[in-house]
Structure 1
């Protein structure tokens, strides 16, 4: 079911429809929370909190990419839960310097986990959207951006001249600008 169909079903079907929504997204939310927390019970608790928060926030939702929105809520809730756990541990810190070092390390770890989850989600979404790109453009876009190959490597891989690779990348970018909307990726 696409985003708009889910929203229509929830708004017209009420709690029963939301229950179906939860069943559909529970595993995804749980896995996302578990990736941050690495603890089964904590991930389940966060998943429950996430679905309560989503239910309350749905009236203000502005069609900004449902799965991305769910991911952001889940990651933020999981990071909050982790911070709460870490605060309890930090109280035991022996001196002020130790406290600051631990807090900084935990903050950096939480940020990097959120960035990793959001980056994985974004890559999956872009990969899915790339399927709509004409194949000769898709090949060079994937090689250049996803596989991070140089123009020379792409030319050798696809049996092209370097200028042809440059030209295809340029045309592919123009195609993307015409066919993709920025808000689809935010």
Structure 2
């Protein structure tokens, strides 16, 4: 379709730029990350379109955008997971009972259990829970990092707590 026609490709980019950004942003949730992924989408289009027979261009662009955004999230998650390997040892155990005289092994086990359970949380809730409770950040700091309002952070924390109440059983922590 666009083989060798750079002006036609520029027109496609102009036409679909905002559309691709909206799709990617809905997955990655950060404007700068969305810009990076959007560049990857257009690079993929530029290299693939000359060899690809595309019947529904907008649908194909949507699929590429979603796939690239998901790939980006997976890669970011793996990088964060690698960066937090050994975090159980580095982080002080959460003081759930308020007693500092607990058996240290029990605290380590409880801490490891909490970290495993946190992995079950949806990512947008997990990020807020870790930032607020483990990293001791304020609503404002988290809101600034995520480029959202303080009210959004409060809502995410509330929803995260509701999710935890529904999905975690108290017996698992005894």
TM score, norm. by length of structure 2: 0.48
Bigger relative contact order (CA 8 A; separation at least 6)? 1
TM score, norm. by length of structure 1: 0.45
